[in-house]
Amino acid sequence: MNINIELEIMRVIDIEMKGLSLLKEQINSSVRSAVETIFNCSGKVILTGMGKSGLVAKKIASTMSSVGTPAIFMHPAEGMHGDLGIIAAEDVVIAIGKSGESSELNGVLPSIKNAGAKIIGIMGDTDSTLARYSDVVINIGDIEEACPFNMAPTTSSTVTMVLGDAIAVALMKMREFDLADYALLHPGGQIGKRLTMRVSDVMLKGSNNPMINITESVKNCISEISRKLAGAVSVVDNDGKIIGLVTDYDIRKHIEKEENIFSMKIEEIMNSKPIFVYDDEKAFSALKIMQEREKPITILSVLDRKNIVVGMLRMHDLVKEGL
């Protein structure tokens, strides 16, 4: 069949947008009651649903968990074979089903009720079995599906997912869930890394930390830079405290002047006022120090709070971490 693909795509989008507009008309005290019930829940928040409603329930559970409301998904069929054991009286169960008559979902509702848990039902038919078992009923309305047969869950799935997002965000604000909280739950993302990753997590340390005593020779200094592959070496006193920094650039600078560098002392070639960071500082702050200088630098000595050199930080490693 030849169709105008662009027009068909636009038709589906228009239908689903209309569904979202109708959803706004359904937002009432029931939705407020649902949010307050979840907020005051002292137990678990459990989502359940069959088929595409189950997939939407999984997504909502994931979103809630990521923004401060721990939630899990229970498959209704698995519930009928033992997983109902996770439900306790202090829990809240959010049950999703457009018709409210899914046999698998309805099969677990009596047991959930008997366990004493609150049921929040999300459906499109307030006369359904799901509605009768629910303590809080959220009606998404009589929504036209984008499917040409008005059967396959399309618009209803979108509407339910948006409703779930809205509830999750409302709870997020009620819990005063902030950026620092978000970072703790998303340590692998850029925001999480920028807020939680410390210099000590990224720096070269231990046997990989390029460091040399001020009394050593320039030859040993160059060897230390070469062995540790850092492009620089921290110069320390007998107590391990920083005195200076020698970089590849410092060495090249003296070689270009045709000086006999091997007859010189380390203190003659080092930067005696090196910039450094502490190991407990945020790695992103260290990256900003490197980048925001008039002449950006790519390496920093790392000290602990006793001013002992404990590592070396390279811009390359910070960038590799996705900061």
Name the residue among 201, 207, 174 with its Cα closest to residue 188: 201
CB of 99 within 8 A of CB of 123? Answer: yes
Per-position DSSP letters for 67-123, written without gaps between them: TT--EEE--HHHHTTTGGGG--TT-EEEEE-SSS--HHHHHHHHHHHHHT-EEEEEE
How do strand 309-314 and strand 276-278 relate by DSSP bridges?
unpaired
Q: Token digits for 121?
A: 């039902």
* Shared domain check, 51 and 91: yes
Q: Phi, psi (5° rounding) for residue 212?
A: -145, 145
* Shared domain check, 21 and 120: yes
pLDDT given for residue 269 in this prediction:
86
* Shared domain check, 143 and 42: yes
Task: Tell me how many degrees the CA angle 57-59-62 measures, rounded to the nearest 5.
Answer: 110
Is residue 181 pLDDT above 80, yes or no?
A: yes
Sign of the torsion angle spanned by Cα atoms 293, 294, 298, 301: negative
pLDDT given for residue 50 in this prediction:
96
Lowest mean pLDDT among 86-95, 102-111, 282-291: 282-291
pLDDT given for residue 78 in this prediction:
94
* Shared domain check, 262 and 125: no
Band (pLDDT 50/70/90 cuts) for residue 19 is very high
Is residue 193 pLDDT above 80, yes or no?
A: no
pLDDT given for residue 93 in this prediction:
98
Unique residue bearing structure tokens 């965000």: 169
* Shared domain check, 200 and 173: no
Band (pLDDT 50/70/90 cuts) for residue 257 is confident
- Global pTM? 0.70
Q: Which of 110, 143, 177 is the last residue of a domain?
A: 177
Rg of the chain over Cα atoms, rounded to whole angstroms, equals 31
Query: What is the domain count for the chain?
Result: 2
* Shared domain check, 306 and 240: yes
Coil, strand, or helix at residue 198?
strand
Q: Phi, psi (5° rounding) for residue 230?
A: -105, -15
- Which CATH number is 295's domain given? 3.10.580.10
Band (pLDDT 50/70/90 cuts) for residue 251 is confident
* Most confident region among 51-55, 148-152, 188-192, 297-301 by mean pLDDT: 51-55
Phi-psi region of 307 (alpha: psi -120 to 50; beta: other; left: phi over 0): left
Name the residue among 239, 229, 256 with its Cα closest to residue 304: 239
Other C-beta atoms closer than 10 Å to the C-beta of 306 total 9
- Which CATH number is 115's domain given? 3.40.50.10490
DSSP E strands: which ranges in the chain?
45-49, 71-73, 92-96, 118-123, 136-139, 204-205, 211-213, 232-236, 242-247, 276-278, 299-303, 309-314
* Shared domain check, 53 and 158: yes
Rounded distance between C-alpha atoms, residue 2 and residue 269, angstroms: 77
Band (pLDDT 50/70/90 cuts) for residue 266 is confident
What range defines the domain where residue 255 resides? 196-320
- Whether residue 238 is contained in a domain is answered as yes
* Shared domain check, 21 and 74: yes
pLDDT, averaged across the chain:
91
- Whether residue 139 is contained in a domain is answered as yes
Percentage, residues of the chain above pLDDT 70: 99
- Whether residue 182 is contained in a domain is answered as no
pLDDT given for residue 136 in this prediction:
97
How large is the average pLDDT for residues 134-143?
A: 94
